[in-house]
Amino acid sequence: MRSEREAAAPAGFIPLCVPEIRGNEWKYVKECLDTNFVSSVGPFVDRFESMLATYVGTRHAVATVNGTAAIHIALLVAGIQPGDEVILPSLTFIAPANAIRYVGAWPVFVDSEPDYWQMSPESIACFIQKQCDWTNGTLRNKATGRRVRAILPVHILGHPADMDPILETARKYNLAVIEDATEALGAKYKGRKVGHIGDIGCFSFNGNKIITTGGGGMLVTDNEQWAARAKYLTTQAKDDPIEFVHGEVGYNYRLTNLQAAMGCAQLELLDDYIEAKRAIASRYSKALTGVPGISEMPIAPWAGSSCWLYTILVDALRYKKDRRELFAHLKSHQVQTRPLWQPLHLSPAHKDAFATDCSCAAALNNSGLSLPCSVGLTAHQQHQVTGLISQKLDPGMIAR
Ligand SMILES: Cc1ncc(COP(=O)(O)O)c(C=O)c1O
């Protein structure tokens, strides 16, 4: 039987980031099938939640159908109301901005910092100091008149955001901190696992993440009440499961036992996968150092990056090709890459949201390109990719 990797990839194709299935997945999923516990009830859901809470170091974890749902519920349990504002980096995948809109709140987009490409603490402070009014314990955006209630840092590409100054600002202005750690499971900020630094953290187990359940998510927190409310909201807000009494409008955001079974098996190997990702990053780093116009995403001295998605910047003048041309060049040799996201302050989907100056995010989008870095990427495949980028390799070799 062909694996997902083989089925998804024609011969010679080097995918961006595909699942690695080499542990107890078959065994645990078979256990679900053998016992008929395939749906949203079953021992693997509890086990996966407890394993993840232990791994991240939080008291509680609540599984969800995907990472976007985890963020949606995190915003609800943190008390974000319709018409509130939540500070979000412009340079991220769109899901957290959408989740903010699901609760009827609004994102406020701030810039990335140029050193490690994460949410800029200075940009947050500058927005608050110059564009907000702080009166009677309420922070209000002067331009929109809306109340600012939370900061939602996103640890992009496996690297943590600089959380200390973000937490300091949050505490000063009484803002909740909801971490989008969907891309950074296992990464550490000054020795602490991401997801356990703010008030509540969210993870994704989408197929391209470092571990996957096909699709899935998790919300983690030390706050017992928030965790209980998250469980309630993700399971249709059921007050009486016999008489079907529902206390409020809830959501069917449960993860299935089948998915959780896969999650348990994947989580058992997470540390090996992080090690593999770091080895891939270090090989890229070595091979691409000295290629004019190519630079990699730096890692902060205080960061334990999971190196989830290895990303370079292409300086078009020095490299003699821009990142779009490099993307096309690699694609023509069956190498899949991915540009950094369109910054959300430029997204048609969020054109009505308030944005600060996000020029660093725009510049990163213009030159950023993520390279293949599946856990199972072979040294030979990686050599092909770096050869094509450094233009040292005969491209004919790729076809062989
Ligand atoms: C930064 C970020 N936030 C949220 C999500 C949403 O996760 P999911 O796809 O599991 O809904 C993703 C990725 O998929 C992401 O990259």
Q: Which tens digits make up the pLDDT trace of 269-320? A: 999 999 999 999 999 999 999 999 999 999 999 999 999 999 999 999 999 9
For ligand 1, mutation pick of 206, 253, 338 (most atoms within 8 Å of CB):
206
Ligand 1 centre to CA of 206 (Å) is 7
Q: Do 165 and 125 form a contact (C-beta atoms < 8 A)? A: yes
CA angle 85/87/93 to nearest 5° reads 115
Ligand 1 cavity residues, CB under 6 Å:
66-68, 92-93, 95-96, 154, 180, 182-183, 204, 206, 217
In angstroms, rounded to a whole number, what is the distance separating the alpha carbons of residues 153 and 88? 6
Q: Give the Å distances, CA to CA, from 72 to 24, 65, 105, 200.
A: 31, 11, 11, 12
Q: Do 32 and 261 form a contact (C-beta atoms < 8 A)? A: yes
* 362-398 pLDDT, tens digit each: 999 999 999 999 999 999 999 999 999 998 644 444 4
Ligand 1 centre to CA of 133 (Å) is 32
User: Does this model's pTM top 0.85?
Assistant: yes
Nearest in space to 307 (alpha carbons), one of 190, 155, 112, 204: 155
What residue owns the CA closest to ligand 1's atom 8? 67
The residue assigned the tokens 């959300």 is: 344
In angstroms, rounded to a whole number, what is the distance separating the alpha carbons of residues 122 and 139? 17
C-beta neighbour count of 363 within 10 angstroms: 16
Burial (CB count <10 Å: 0-12, 13-18, 19+), residue 35: exposed
In angstroms, rounded to a whole number, what is the distance separating the alpha carbons of residues 369 and 312? 5
Percent of the chain with pLDDT over 90: 94
Query: Which H/E stretch holds residue 132?
Result: strand 132-135
